[in-house]
Chain A
Amino acid sequence: MTEEPRIGVYVCHCGFNIAGTVDVKKVAEFAKTLPNVVVAKDYVFMCSEPGQDLIKADIKAHNLNRVVVSACSPSLHEITFRTAVSEAGLNKYLLEMANIREHCSWVHHDKEKATEKAKEIVRMAVAKARHLEPLQELEVKAETSALVLGGGVAGMRAALELANYGFNVYLVEKAPTIGGKAALIGYVDPKTKGAEIVSKMFDRVKDCPRIQVLTNAELIQLSGFAGNYIAKVRLNPRYVNEKCTLCGECEEVCPIEVSNEYNFGLNKRKAIFLPFSNAYPPYYAIDYRVCVKCGECEKVCRFGAISLKEEPKVVDLKVGSIIIATGYDPYRPFKGEYGYGLHQNIMTLFQLERLLDPDSPTKGELIVGNKIPKSIAFIQCVGSRNTTPGAKEYCSRMCCTTAINSAVKIKEKYPDMNVYILYKDIMTYGSDETLYEEAGKKLVQFIKFEEKIPKVSITPEGLFIDVFEYTIQENLRIPVDAIVLSIGMLPPRDIEELIAVTRVSCGGEGFVREAHLKLAPVEAPTKGIFLAGCITGPKNILESIRMGSAAAAKAMSLLSKGKLTIEPMIAQVNEEKCSGCAICVGVCPYSAISIKKVNGDRIAYVEKALCMGCGTCNAACPSGAMQHLGFKDIQLLAQTRAVFGGEMNV
């Protein structure tokens, strides 16, 4: 900065809020004695229009090139005064606030001491102001389309919201169908099945020209930044095209049989298969991971819908914003956990949900081990709220409601069946509480256990559960025909890949973390990336859908402008000083810094749009080459020295 600083200091009375405890006249007089201060004034309300006009007039009259407003917290009026000084032709970053209200007059009562402190606060602000520099906001062009990762309810909802408001959306789903887990399991409420909601959403997605559904697709690389992301998406071959009429002849000739993940392993499926009856896109898919390309299906297909020559493709999608909605994985009980895997009548809640679905191998009949059981017991909190290896300490939120809902459905269908629910606590929060009451009326028997978990015994006489009933304080031995393990939610298996590609971060529970639960919900810490559904932790279907809408709203506020303003208070490299040691590269939480070769020298390079302005690189830089604009070393050191009346040379 070559120009000599000419500083104006403006001390606000804030009515009596400041002037009642601080002698503002004395503070203004003191300010006049500080280096480079040209003018200092006090006024009753600086933030009022006459107050602002006073500053504006002085900037012109005294040719001021810095302004210090000594008033309230910058969090309250920094923007007000920045606007005021910029209206007078001054760069708005040449303003500094001295907080003498929240930090002084409101917390102290001794007028003399408070006045002394206020003087020092002003001295510190003036010291920093002497070293302020004009900064420029940058504007970059931004894409107006979005990428939604994950075609479950949260992702579909987000895509629909965005499309409804006129934005183009790529809906990228790893599986051959969209719909996610909600298509297979669960009730939005006791009357509405997740699958019904999903198929209604399919109809809307189908009819929406702005949504491009990419199934069998994976995000493999993400470059760029908010407003200008380039997403590399691999389209894995489906081998079946839209000519498919769902006749199913191919399925009969396919020699490959694998466990059917869409029925949670209840039955087998072929390598060519239809995930579920209303899958979308509505045609068969060949599982490229298991197909041996024998060609039988291609031969038998009468519609020319199958081509085994299809190759994987990689496409680059230019998008402004990304919504991650890749969901969760069900907890995987270990072999022998409550007898799981040792007896065919011991299943997970997800498997039971499939059995009760009309689209299931049993056409909705509860048939286990070739017959309808006379009694069935649910064990709650399997993999949730406990500390066994692999389990999670959190509550998975949906298992109580889902189990009780299934129990009610079972009771409606088979009134004579004995249905037990073994639980720690019942978490049917909100309106789901009525479902709990309903279950009681239908004589579903609730058995409470505490620390001592129930024990499942597999005997020649059948299955038994030994449990210490907490409310009656008695040991019970319950003979049952079938056992359902109410398993919770885990972070998706491929979350590591997601993190590697998108640079989002994980919380302690292994799910993706929001930037701030209360102050920046739905946002990932990286600008332009938003989160929806169970990827941030267990949620029920309704909550996931709402989060999809919320993420879309946040993405829209970014996409709607078609351009992006980059805050100037970010990191800047002095290329002369930088030795390319790359310490800054390692500390940057946003991967905004990289090392580039400039004329053969290694130099740190800051991608302005990625930098969020935390300044940690500045603190770590050993040579002082990296500076946090607005909070440079010299500015903060000057402020520090001014506490004691010292100065940093301009």
Chain B
Amino acid sequence: MSETKGEFEPKIVVYACNWCTYAATDLAGTSRMSYPPNVRIIRVMCSGRIDPQFVLQAFADGADGVIVAGCHPPADCHYIEGNYKAYRRFELFRKLLETMGIEQERFRLEWISAAEASRWVQVVNEMVTQVKKLGPLKPNLEVRE
């Protein structure tokens, strides 16, 4: 989290697959769309690569929200079914968050295609608003390095 001029500015880490969501974030740029600067995007080749431990690390280090995003099911995934693997892992993971004192609303799993720049902008706006409402994350978990 970071505090600028008194107002809470959440920091949101995004794990985006190379083929769909990362392309959408690029398209939002080339289309000169506008969204709040609270997101930090980490590129992976496939949403199936995203390990829940990354998300935990982000929360442990101070992320106020995390978005995991990939290609639309059923058939957009560049690697056949990586999006389904992400779906399985993170729907389960979401349930575990609450037990660690992290509100489920701080985590989003999204499908954003390469053409859906406006969807990306909408997701960022919604997430920033939502996390601002929740306030800074004060996790009661310790991740050993």
Task: Tell me the A residues contacting B by CB distance below 8 Å.
Answer: 73-75, 99, 101-104, 106-110, 113-114, 116-117, 120-121, 124, 505, 507-508, 513, 515-517, 519-520, 525, 569, 587, 589-590, 612-616, 618-620, 628, 631, 633, 636-637, 639-641, 643-644, 646
Contacts and interface: CB of A to CB of B under 8 A. Distances in A.
Given A507-B75, A636-B42, A618 B80 contact: no
Interface string B1-25: 0001000000101000001001101
A616 B79 contact: yes
Nearest to A514: B75
B40 A643 contact: yes
Given A106-B29, A643-B40, A643-B61, A513 B75 contact: yes
A612 B74 CA distance: 19
Interface stretch (B47-55, B94-102, B103-111): B47-55
A351 to B, nearest CB: 35
Contacts of A590: 80
Nearest to B19: A519
A73 B26 contact: yes
B25 A103 contact: yes
B63 A618 contact: no
Interface residues of B, number: 44
Given A114-B37, A587-B85, A616-B85, A631 B29 contact: no
Contacts of B112: none
Given A107-B32, A636-B54, A615 B63 contact: no
A532 to B, nearest CB: 19
Contacts of A631: 44-45, 49
A114 B40 CA distance: 12
Given A74-B43, A124-B40, A616 B48 contact: yes
A614 B49 contact: yes
Contacts of A113: 4, 37
B89 to A, nearest CB: 7
A75 B46 contact: no
B140 interface: no
A640 B54 contact: yes
A21 B35 CA distance: 14
Contact of B40 (A110, A120, A587, A620): A120
Contacts of B43: 74
B80 A505 contact: yes
A640 B51 CA distance: 12
A641 B34 contact: no
B49 A619 contact: yes
A619 B80 contact: no
Given A124-B40, A644-B11, A107 B29 contact: yes
A643 B80 contact: no
Contact of A110 (B13, B37, B49, B76): B37
7 contacts: A513-B75, A516-B78, A615-B46, A619-B49, A628-B49, A643-B63, A644-B11
Highest count of chain B CB atoms <10 Å: which of A620, A631, A636, A640: A640
Contacts of B54: 636-637, 640
Nearest to A613: B45
B60 to A, nearest CB: 9
Contacts of A519: 19, 78
A102 B29 contact: yes
Cβ-closest 10 pairs across A and B = A102-B29, A615-B49, A616-B48, A614-B79, A614-B46, A106-B29, A589-B80, A644-B61, A619-B51, A102-B26
B136 interface: no
Nearest to B35: A107
A519 B26 CA distance: 17
Given A525-B79, A619-B50, A75 B26 contact: yes
A646 B57 CA distance: 11
A614 B29 contact: no
B41 interface: yes
B3 to A, nearest CB: 12
Nearest to A507: B75
Given A104-B37, A124-B42, A631-B45, 15 more contacts: A73-B29, A99-B26, A114-B37, A120-B40, A525-B79, A612-B79, A614-B48, A614-B79, A618-B49, A620-B85, A631-B49, A640-B58, A643-B11, A643-B63, A646-B61
A587 B81 CA distance: 9
A633 B29 contact: no
Nearest to B61: A644
B37 A615 contact: no
Contacts of A106: 29-30, 32
B79 A641 contact: no
Given A102-B26, A124-B42, A619-B89, A644 B62 contact: yes
A614 B82 contact: yes
Contacts of A636: 42, 44, 51, 54
Contacts of B13: 640, 643
A372 B1 CA distance: 84
B33 interface: yes
B42 A640 contact: yes
B28 interface: yes
A618 B50 CA distance: 9
A633 B145 CA distance: 13
Contact of B28 (A102, A117, A614, A641): A102
Contacts of B61: 640-641, 643-644, 646
A615 B40 contact: no
B70 to A, nearest CB: 11
B63 to A, nearest CB: 7
Nearest to B44: A631
A641 B57 contact: yes
Contacts of B23: 75
A619 B86 CA distance: 9
A108 B49 contact: no
Nearest to B66: A640
A621 to B, nearest CB: 9
